[in-house]
A and B are shown apart, each in its own frame.
Chain A
Amino acid sequence: MAIPPRATLALASALVAALAVAGCKTTNTVTSTQRIITDPILDLDASAAQVRTSRAPGDLLQAQVDLYNTWITEQNVKYKWEWIDAAGNVLPNATSTWVGMNIAAKQTTTLTAIAPSPRAVDFRLQLRRAGD
């Protein structure tokens, strides 16, 4: 069966474009909850029920988040804290950085952080799979 030249052209272009896109670094889509922004590729259970906040000495907001690795192998994760003021602005933080860690299979780990300013009223924890 003969294929029309125009159809061949469209098919070839689509094939090359698809291959090129596959060769590019893929970007994971991100789902967002109120406080924890996690990469759906992570099999972590970080529901809001596992978040604790309190006030540390000096009226600084302290946050603890329990992360449970639901997967049967170790997961390499990186995380970053951000602190939010009453107006919803992210507060500047000199020590804010992505930190890497490993969570063993079926284990829970607790992340703890303290806000750098009494102005912080809320936080945001970003989680990504290490290596992305």
Chain B
Amino acid sequence: MRTIATATLAAAVLAAQGCTSESPYVTDDSKKIVTIQALNVQDYSQAAGDLCTQLLQSGRLAQAQQTLATNGAPVIVKLSTPINESDQRVDMALLLQKMKMTLNTTGQAMFVSDDKSAAQITEDAKFARGDRTQTIPQLVLTSKLIAVKASAGGFLSTTKQASYVFQMNLVDTRNGLELWNGEKDITKQGTGAKVGY
């Protein structure tokens, strides 16, 4: 009888260990925590991907490259300072860096650096070689985040909903006209945070 008990216990311990051997690192976006009242890291990936698809599908960037750039070079784009009209502190670099990476890979766009040290070193290098030309961006990409929140239900059970709307416009610096307008909203609804979609 003791043999049966020991064997059963050993099997249970081994099986339990098998269940709890998950890595603490989360590489699968669908397993990341989803909060209703805030943007999560995977939301930026989704928004960036959708906005890039909208922009590339419109053909306006490729058209600008053909008319503004020479010899098939990428068109020069400057990111304007993002506007955050949501009620939370947001680092829009989480969105913009992914967009820059994607658009750069397409070969259609190249971005002006926003880094102050890089700008200073560039100026110093140009001065040293007597280069007085200026890099003028041919396009400006503007971005804005708006949040719209709502809730429904009673005291005991309240369903909360938050919509985060990313708006972007691509402006031709020759005339200030907007070549492209994009928008992506991410709406989340629930009673609290959860893991995964």
Is A47 close to B, CB under 8 A? no
Rounded to whole angstroms, the CA-CA distance of A58 and B107 in the bound complex is 8
CB-contact partner of A20 in B19, B29, B99, B196, under 8 A: B19
Q: Which of A81-107 contact B (CB under 8 A)?
A: 92-100
Question: Which secondary structure dominates chain B's binding surface?
Answer: helix
Q: Which of A75-132 contact B (CB under 8 A)?
A: 76, 78, 80, 92-100, 112-114, 116-118, 128, 130-131
Minimal beta-carbon separation of B174 from chain A (angstroms): 20
CB-contact partner of B52 in A13, A16, A76, A114, under 8 A: A114
CB-contact partner of A98 in B12, B57, B197, under 8 A: B197
Within 8 Å CB of B97, what residues of A? 94
Within 8 Å CB of B29, what residues of A? 80, 97-98
On chain A, the number of residues with a Cβ less than 8 Å from chain B's Cβ atoms is 38
By the criterion CB–CB under 8 Å, are B45 and A100 in contact? Answer: no
Minimal beta-carbon separation of A48 from chain B (angstroms): 22
Is B142 close to A, CB under 8 A? no
Is B81 close to A, CB under 8 A? no
Question: Which secondary structure dominates chain A's binding surface?
Answer: mixed
Is B56 close to A, CB under 8 A? yes
Is B84 close to A, CB under 8 A? no
By the criterion CB–CB under 8 Å, are B57 and A20 in contact? Answer: no
Stretch in contact with the other chain, from B2-10, B122-130, B152-160, B163-171: B2-10
By the criterion CB–CB under 8 Å, are A24 and B18 in contact? Answer: yes
Interface size class of B (residues with CB under 8 A): 35 or more
By the criterion CB–CB under 8 Å, are A98 and B28 in contact? Answer: yes
Q: Which of B113-160 contact A (CB under 8 A)?
A: none
By the criterion CB–CB under 8 Å, are B11 and A13 in contact? Answer: yes
Minimal beta-carbon separation of B192 from chain A (angstroms): 16
Rounded to whole angstroms, the CA-CA distance of A16 and B10 in the bound complex is 10
Q: Mark B41-61, 1 if CB is under 8 A from A, else 0.
A: 010011011001100110101
**Given known A94-B98, A96-B45, contact A131–B11 (CB-CB < 8 A):** no
Rounded to whole angstroms, the CA-CA distance of A18 and B59 in the bound complex is 57
- 7 additional A-B pairs beyond A97-B49, A98-B42, A118-B106, beta carbons within 8 Å, are A17-B15, A20-B11, A23-B15, A23-B19, A92-B105, A98-B29, A131-B196
A-B contact pairs, 12 of them (CB 8 A): A13-B8, A23-B19, A25-B19, A56-B56, A58-B62, A58-B106, A58-B107, A98-B29, A100-B197, A116-B52, A117-B106, A130-B197
